[in-house]
Amino acid sequence: MTFNPRSSRLLVDPYLLGAVAVGALVRLALMFHINTVPASDALDYFTLASNLADGVGYEEFGRPTAFWPVGYPALLGLVFEIIGNEVWVAKALNLVLALAAIPLLYLLGVVLYGRAVARPASWLLALLPSHVFFTNLLIPEALFTTLQLAVVLLVVAALRDGSRRSQAAPAGQGKALLGGFFLVPALGESEESLGLACAALIAGLAAWLARTQRNLLFWLAAGTLVGYGLLVRPAALALALAVLATLCVAARQQKVAIGAPAALFIVSAGLVIAPWIVRNWTDIGAGATLATNGGYNLMVGNNAGANGCATFPIGASRYNKENPNEVRADREAFGDAVSFMADNPDRAIALVPLRLGCLWRDDDTAAAKWHFRKQPDGLGKLERDLWGAVSNWYYLGLLGLAGLGIPAWFRRTPEHLLPVILVAVTTLVYLPFFGGDRFHQSLLPYVALWAAVGIATVPRWLRISRSRDLEGEGL
């Protein structure tokens, strides 16, 4: 990826500005039309963030917890501490995060395929119904989607190896500090000191690289954001694995060294999560890691009533956040899930395609369920059915358009393969647990990008324009 003067004009492309403006309008219209209140998972996130802002600590039920990943409540608590513990503040944060995904996808499209693809991709994401509806809910979908896009863009930039000539390279220096600062409000005094020390170490590495090997700043920033992503959702492990797999492909194809990039990527991610792991072992007990809900989630997907989606057996509550001994409950839930799979191997195997279906079949949960469940002013049945259908048909349309462009977007270059690998690895990571369209939300921007490739290839298929490769413009 080469940097040139045209790059300064990318962010003022009227097509992009229009997509962001329309995206903001439709999301604001939904927020004013449906005044959602924190419920279910959202209520836990809101409570934890409020506790952090009030100085109580990362606690629920009057005791320290690690059941819910800390990343989203920590960021939300930081914003609450500045502005106030209000639902509208959390929704405003979600709005900013959701809108940030649009220019990130646009930039990724420009780099990989050019503006002819980037422009429709930004509009497809701006109007994506599930992306719009999830913005109105106090759960980490908007944050995780945007965070993942930022990592992918950084890695693509690193793979293009143009950062040595970039005037914007020091910006990676700022991004490299995000994870540490988001985490600080959730830590105790000793762990807070460790968190600040880790953030300082990352900053020092960034400053040194800025003077020596600026191209490695991208890997440092990407690793730091992946570390924060692991705190938002441990399933970000799929993102880390996809990045490392893509780096291996690049090393094989382009004969580049992978030692320094891989080391910086892994070490920076480890520095971000280290203070939180130390806190959990200190406050929750030995055996606690990023979150104490892994065994619970495995049990939800592997029990006598499992159907591939989320199924909660009778008595499942004894394993969840209400159990005062989270580590023991998590281990017991894990043991029950493993016992079920060992005693029912045929059923365990049969559940795999069902989970795949639950993960990818529909895209209507945000509209048809989350905007109704425990909402005093939620959507009525007619509206739920209507918006659920719109969400599903829009989603199916994206998949169909993406299919049209497969020959153009399914390339063997590492940067083009990264989104493909990411979708595949994320799917594999979720298969042992349970499926749900909420879990594919962070992958839909890449589907929108491939759909835009499909749109751009239609004229060529119909021979109504000159044949032309979809090449990225570079940044």
Percentage of residues in the chain having pLDDT higher than 70: 83
How confident is the model over 38-83, as pLDDT tens digits?
A: 888 899 999 999 999 988 888 888 888 888 999 999 999 999 999 9
Q: Taking residues 144-150, what's their average pLDDT?
A: 96
How confident is the model over 69-126, as pLDDT tens digits?
A: 999 999 999 999 999 899 999 999 999 999 999 999 999 999 999 999 999 999 999 9
pLDDT score, position 177: 46
Q: What is the mean pLDDT of the chain?
A: 84
Q: Taking CA 37 as the corner, what is the angle to CA 36 and CA 39, rounded to the nearest 5 degrees?
A: 115
Q: Identify the residue with better confidence: 320 or 99.
A: 99
For residue 24, pLDDT over 60 is answered with yes
For residue 355, pLDDT over 90 is answered with yes
Q: Taking CA 383 as the corner, what is the angle to CA 381 and CA 389, rounded to the nearest 5 degrees?
A: 100
pLDDT score, position 286: 67
For residue 373, pLDDT over 90 is answered with no
Do residues 221 and 176 touch, judged by C-beta distance below 8 A? yes
pLDDT score, position 57: 86
pLDDT score, position 446: 97
Measured from the Cβ of residue 460, the count of other Cβ atoms closer than 10 Å reads 15
Q: Taking residues 366-382, what's their average pLDDT?
A: 76
How confident is the model over 205-226, as pLDDT tens digits?
A: 777 776 667 778 888 889 999 9
Q: Identify the residue with better confidence: 366 or 99.
A: 99
How confident is the model over 230-244, as pLDDT tens digits?
A: 999 999 999 999 999
Helix/strand/coil for 312: coil
Q: Taking residues 261-289, what's their average pLDDT?
A: 86
Phi, psi of 60 (to 5 degrees): -145, 140
For residue 312, pLDDT over 90 is answered with no
Phi, psi of 36 (to 5 degrees): -70, 145
Q: What is the DSSP letter of 57?
A: -
For residue 176, pLDDT over 60 is answered with no
Q: What is the DSSP letter of 247?
A: H
Copy the structure tokens of residue 155.
């890695």
Q: Taking residues 337-355, what's their average pLDDT?
A: 94
Q: Taking CA 393 as the corner, what is the angle to CA 387 and CA 398, rounded to the nearest 5 degrees?
A: 125
Copy the structure tokens of residue 404.
């049209």
Q: Identify the residue with better confidence: 192 or 3.
A: 192
For residue 173, pLDDT over 50 is answered with no
For residue 25, pLDDT over 60 is answered with yes
Distances (CA, A) of 371 to 87, 121, 178, 286: 15, 26, 31, 38
pTM of the model: 0.88
pLDDT score, position 182: 56
CB burial of 161-183 (b: ≥16 within 10 Å; e: otherwise) equals: ebbeebeebeebbebbbbbbebb
Q: Identify the residue with better confidence: 260 or 424.
A: 424
How far apart (Å, rounded) are the C-alpha atoms in residues 281 and 124?
44
How confident is the model over 180-202, as pLDDT tens digits?
A: 555 656 666 666 666 667 777 77
How far apart (Å, rounded) are the C-alpha atoms in residues 93 and 71?
14
- Looking at the DSSP bridge assignments, the partners of residue 64 are 59
Q: Identify the residue with better confidence: 293 or 285.
A: 293
Residue with tokens 């070490």: 267
Q: Which of 112, 96, 118 is nearest to 10 (CA)?
A: 118
265 alpha-carbon distance from chain centroid: 17
